[in-house]
Structure 1
Amino acid sequence: MKIVAVLDDLFFTVKIMDAAKRAGLEIVFVKDEITVFEKAAENPAMIIFDLNTKAVDAVKLIRQLKHQPETRHIPLLGFVSHVQVELKRQSQEAGADQVLPRSTFSTKLPAILQSHAEAIAAQH
C-alpha cells in the first residue's frame, strides 16, 4: 500500500522518501489537485500535506477529501511552521486527522510511517 505526499519542498521530499523506504512503504509525490484526487481514489494508507505548499490549496483539499464518502476514511496528516497557528486551526477544522509543527513532523516521521506500515501488515 502506498502513501501520498502533497508537497514541493525538496528537503521534506527527501526526508519523507527516506523514511518511507526504511518503513517499506511506497510513496507517491503529487503537486496538483487532480492528481491528489486520482491517488486518493486508489485508497492510500495516508496522505501527507505540507500545509505551506504553493502547489495546491491544502486546506481546501483536506476539506474536500473528508467530505467525500469514498475518501473520508483516509488518514490526513499535515505539517506546518509552529508559528502558523491559524493555518493549523483551519486544517484541523477542515478535517486533518493530525497537524504537526515541521520540527515535530521531522522527528516523528519515521515512527509515524513505521506504525502505518505495521498496521497495513496486520491487515494482510
Structure 2
Amino acid sequence: MKRKILVVDDEVAIVRVLRDRLEMEGFEVLTAYDGAQGVEIARKEQPDLIIMDITMPNMDGLTAARLLREQPETAHIPIIMLTARGQESDERAGYQAGAALYFTKPFSTRQLVREIRRILGESEE
C-alpha cells in the first residue's frame, strides 16, 4: 500500500513540484492550499506525513500544526515545515508547534525525499 503524504502550501508551483516528485517516488499525494484546508484533509484522510508551509492565507502553518498536535486523531502524524522563513526564531517556532523537521526554501527534493523516508522508517530505494 502506498504511503500517503499531504502537501499544504499556497504556492501552486511548489505543490506541483512536490506532488510530481513524491508520486515518482511511489507516494500517494494529497494537496491543500491553506492551513484550514490542510487540517480538514488530515483529519479525514489520515496521511502518513504532512509537508506544510508556514505563511499561508486563512490559517498559517504554525496554527495548523498546533491544531493537529492537539487532536488525538492527528497528533501522531509527523509534520515537515517547508518554508521560506529561515530565521532561527522561525525554526524554533516550527519545532514548538510540533514539526518533526524544518526545511527552508529553496530546497532539494532529493534531500526532502531522503528525510521523508527516514521519518517514515523506510530505506532508500
TM-score range, shorter-chain basis? 0.7 to 0.9
More helix, by proportion = 1
User: What TM-score, normalized to structure 2?
Assistant: 0.78
Asked if residue 29 in structure 1 is aligned to residue 19 in structure 2, the reply is no
Decide whether aligned partners of structure 1 residues 63 and 32 sit closer, same or farther in structure 2, where only a CA change above 3 A counts: same
Measure, in 1, the Cα distance between the counterparts of 2:116 and 2:24.
Answer: 9
Aligned pair count reads: 119
Aligned partner of 2:9: which letter? Answer: L
Q: 1:4 aligns with which of 6, 10, 25?
A: 6
Q: Gapped runs of 5+ residues in structure 2? A: none
Q: Gapped runs of 5+ residues in structure 1? A: 120-124
Partner of 2:74: 71
Asked if residue 57 in structure 1 is aligned to residue 60 in structure 2, the reply is yes
Partner of 2:88: 85
Measure, in 2, the Cα distance between the counterparts of 1:114 and 1:23.
Answer: 10
For the Cα contact (< 8 Å) 1:25–1:117, is it kept in 2?
no
Query: Per-residue deviation at 1:55?
Result: 4.8
CA RMSD after TM alignment: 2.4
Measure, in 1, the Cα distance between the counterparts of 2:96 and 2:119.
Answer: 23
Range that drifts further, 69-78 or 17-26: 17-26
Decide whether aligned partners of structure 1 residues 118 and 99 sit closer, same or farther in structure 2, where only a CA change above 3 A counts: closer
Measure, in 1, the Cα distance between the counterparts of 2:24 and 2:118.
Answer: 12
Identity of aligned residues (%): 26
Aligned partner of 1:9: which letter? Answer: E
Query: Per-residue deviation at 1:92?
Result: 0.9
For the Cα contact (< 8 Å) 2:34–2:57, is it kept in 1?
no
Secondary structure of residue in 2 paired with 1:56? coil
Q: 2:99 aligns with which of 96, 100, 111?
A: 96
User: What TM-score, normalized to structure 1?
Assistant: 0.78
Measure, in 2, the Cα distance between the counterparts of 1:8 and 1:33.
Answer: 9
Structure with the larger RCO, 1 or 2 (CA within 8 Å, 6+ apart): 1
Measure, in 1, the Cα distance between the counterparts of 2:118 and 2:52.
Answer: 18
For the Cα contact (< 8 Å) 2:21–2:109, is it kept in 1?
no
